[in-house]
Structure 1
Amino acid sequence: MNKNIYIIRHCEAEGQSSDSPLTENGLIQSDELSYFLSEIEIDRIICSPFLRAIQTIKPFAENKNIEIEMESRLTERVLSSLFFSDWMDKLEATFNDMDLKYEGGESSNEARNRIIEVVNEIEASYSENTIIVAHGGIISLLLNHYDKNFGFEQWKSLSNPDVYLLKISQNNFHLKRLWKD
């Protein structure tokens, strides 16, 4: 069975904490995203439990009358529990060394394995068309899994929101960016 997994990065948010809401612009973007997706048949929506991710997909879910399934493995990757003034450099280093791990954080491989587990479960399920809603860091690691050229620079160029389509059929996959900002 062919699988279509729509990988969605949340809309513009007010912050990085789990309860940070979308900005006023982000709420407008969520309505635009709902319209953008409106012609697509969707069986399931699996979402990070972070408020900004839920608010991103809520207009679409309500339109289609589809339950939003919360999935903690889609939460954003924690780089470290420490504050780094040079966090961008530290983050870039984790794209170059996927096992590099800072205090209180998780390595790129650990975070990537979380989201790959979710994709593998979707692949094994009966759902043909699934949306996953998550965050730029964890999504970039998933995209890197399927496209080794997707790295730190590509992460920096992700938009809020962003939409990629991962098509999987008999161990073949095709990744395509759908959102044009």
Structure 2
Amino acid sequence: MSQIVWIARHGNRIDFVNPEWFNTAERRFDPPLSDDGVVQAYQLGQRLKAENIAHIFASPFLRTVQTANQIAEALDLPIKLEAGLSEWLNPAWFPEMPEKLSIEALTKLYQRIDSSYTSRLVPQYPETHAEMLIRAGKTATLLADEFFSEDILLVGHGASVLGGAVGLVGASAKDQVKASLCCLVKVARQEADWLLELTGDTSHLSAVEEVIRFN
């Protein structure tokens, strides 16, 4: 049995480009992509056009949905919103559960969203780093097993990219995966084993960040 799980991080976000955005935003902890982030997401979609991806799963945060939408347009696939791929709900980052657009509002904005899909795992605020790794890892393994006969793509955040890889490959992935913006991780299943084949590829991007940022 063989299968490929691709894991991608969202593109650049508006508050990384314009920190002042945070001060007046309606949903301060759910920033959209910046203009160059949209370009990055488009380039990632073009990179993945040649791959045999059957399902796209995305965190319900706006920046991940926007990234997944660019990929979904390139691959002509729906988007399944999976809360288990959400941002690390770190109380040092968020004073409360971060407010996001509702699933209904997202579905109106992005018609490729599959409204019939239900998240397999829902994170609870607050969570420690260890809890986040377990949650993201469990989500990746659940989806890989449920859709075991097909290649899938998980679009998440720096934390959930790392957690997903650790969940599939094991703790060794912690020191190998570099979850930069719009990077691509490739994990291949060969019988009972998972092999880490790409650890954070950004060769598809015309511009990459020099220092990896998470929040």
Q: What TM-score results when the alignment is normalised by the length of structure 1?
A: 0.76
Instruction: Tell me the equivalent position of 1:97.
Output: none
Q: For residues 129 and 41 of structure 1, what CA distance do their matches in structure 2 show?
A: 6
Q: Residues 5 and 18 (structure 1 numbering): CA distance in 2 closer, same or farther, change over 3 Å?
A: farther
Q: CA shift at 1:113, angstroms?
A: 2.0
- Secondary structure at the counterpart of residue 121 of structure 1: helix
Q: For residues 81 and 109 of structure 1, what CA distance do their matches in structure 2 show?
A: 15
Q: Residues 137 and 66 (structure 1 numbering): CA distance in 2 closer, same or farther, change over 3 Å?
A: same
Corresponding letter in the other structure for 2:34: T
Number of residue pairs matched by the alignment: 160
Q: Residues 55 and 82 (structure 1 numbering): CA distance in 2 closer, same or farther, change over 3 Å?
A: closer
Q: For residues 5 and 49 of structure 1, what CA distance do their matches in structure 2 show?
A: 19
Q: For residues 146 and 188 of structure 2, what CA distance do their matches in structure 1 show?
A: 14
Name which of structure 1's ranges 40-49 and 57-66 shifts more when overlaid on structure 2. 57-66
Instruction: Tell me the equivalent position of 1:108.
Output: 129
Instruction: Tell me the equivalent position of 1:179.
Output: 202
Instruction: Tell me the equivalent position of 1:142.
Output: 164
Q: CA shift at 1:62, angstroms?
A: 1.7
Instruction: Tell me the equivalent position of 2:33.
Output: 22
- Alpha-carbon RMSD across the aligned residues, in angstroms, is 2.5
Q: CA shift at 1:171, angstroms?
A: 1.9
Q: Residues 78 and 154 (structure 1 numbering): CA distance in 2 closer, same or farther, change over 3 Å?
A: farther
- Large movers: runs of 4+ above 4 Å: 81-84
Give the unaligned 5+ runs of structure 1: 85-103
Corresponding letter in the other structure for 1:148: A
Per-residue deviation, residues 106-127 of structure 1 (Å, max 9, x unmatched): 1223212222222222232244
Q: For residues 29 and 82 of structure 1, what CA distance do their matches in structure 2 show?
A: 25
Alignment of 1:16-165 (within 5 A): 17-80=28-91, 105-126=126-147, 127-145=149-167, 146=169, 148-151=171-174, 157-165=178-186
Q: What TM-score results when the alignment is normalised by the length of structure 2?
A: 0.65
Per-residue deviation, residues 13-51 of structure 1 (Å, max 9, x unmatched): 124955311001001111111111111111100100011
- Secondary structure at the counterpart of residue 66 of structure 2: helix
**Contact 1:18-1:51 within 8 A present in 2 as well:** no
Q: For residues 55 and 41 of structure 1, what CA distance do their matches in structure 2 show?
A: 21
Give the unaligned 5+ runs of structure 2: 17-27, 96-124, 209-215
Q: For residues 59 and 133 of structure 2, what CA distance do their matches in structure 1 show?
A: 14
- Secondary structure at the counterpart of residue 43 of structure 1: strand
- Secondary structure at the counterpart of residue 122 of structure 1: helix
Name which of structure 1's ranges 11-20 and 33-42 shifts more when overlaid on structure 2. 11-20
Corresponding letter in the other structure for 1:34: G
